[in-house]
Amino acid sequence: MGSTIKVTREPAFSEEQCNALFAAILVHDDIDLGAELPDTIHLEYSQQHFVDCYQICLQLWQTSVDRKFLGTVAEKLYWHHRLEPETVLAFKHMRAKFKHLRFAYMAFDKRHYYPREFHRIIRKMGNLQDAFKHEQIADIRRNAIFLRLLTMNFVYAFSTRKIRQFQPTTPEGFRDYVNKEIDFVRQGLLESKVSARNFHEMRKVISRQVALYDNLKIVYPSTYHDSISRYLSTINGLMGGVHDELVAEHFASGQDYESYAFDVPDTIRQLLTAWVEKYEKPV
């Protein structure tokens, strides 16, 4: 194909579009049991689609994420183990923007992987959020130290450099990436029971797919993109509820999160099965 299309340094999307994307991110786990998939799902997108979708995620992140705020949150939690409600919400929103950009990088960059150092920031934010939620003081202090280190100017610059080195995938590469994601869920559904860890990994696939269609429905609005986004958001919300219960049980009783196995709830299994059946099985 021709020369690679590149992400620009200048804002390519309006503030209204960025706000609409963030509004979509905030409801990425809203449950609508009446949501339906379109009759068929296609994966026919151009490299321009990938660049545009990544551009809006990068723009939202660049214009609304504050490194100093993250450092301040880490310091407050380390010393006081508590936050004001508005700070908790702001921290949650900032992590959502980090996660969304990470998902976009994985879906639309030709390497289809999480940039390791960037991912580390998000993980520490999540670990700190869980420790705070479940009042685990030792975990709060440990993760606060790590997050404060990661938000130091030169460390942060190093950790975020990869997201500015975006190289868009090809249509063929995108289709291969999505089909591998779908097949991972398909294989999980073949098991009578699933470990908590594998259930969480399946949910990550759903979260990445929700993010993908949230981008498409804002940048390329259509009832088709809306319907897939709403259906996947429902699965994401249901699976998220189960995951929260597993994490709470782990903190409360020490239940082994890695190996604990259980039946996938019927509603979730049915929704996942209907979704994966929209895609061709690998030969």
pLDDT in tens, 215-268: 999 999 999 999 999 999 999 999 999 988 887 776 777 667 677 889 999 999
3-class secondary structure, 88:
helix
3-class secondary structure, 250:
helix
**What percentage of the chain reaches a pLDDT higher than 90?**
82
CA distance 85 to 129: 13
The chain-wide mean pLDDT, for the chain, equals 92
Sequence letter at residue 105: Y
The pLDDT value given to residue 4? 60
**Is the backbone of residue 192 left (phi > 0), alpha (psi -120 to 50) or beta?**
alpha
- Which CA distances in Å does 140 have to 72, 88, 135, 178? 14, 14, 8, 36
Of 24-28, 148-152, 254-258, the poorest mean pLDDT is in 254-258
pTM: 0.91
Please report the sign of the dihedral spanned by the C-alpha atoms of residue 218, residue 237, residue 36, residue 282: positive
pLDDT band at 283 (very low <50, low <70, confident <90, very high): low
Domain boundaries, the chain: 15-30+46-164, 171-276
Please report the sign of the dihedral spanned by the C-alpha atoms of residue 44, residue 269, residue 204, residue 20: positive
Please report the sign of the dihedral spanned by the C-alpha atoms of residue 43, residue 48, residue 51, residue 53: negative
Kindly state the average pLDDT of the residues 164-182: 96
Q: For the segment 100-111, what is each residue's pLDDT rounded down to a tens digit? A: 999 999 999 999
Q: Note whether 111 and 167 are within 8 A (CB).
A: yes
Kindly state the average pLDDT of the residues 190-218: 94
Q: Note whether 262 and 245 are within 8 A (CB).
A: no
Q: Note whether 215 and 18 are within 8 A (CB).
A: no
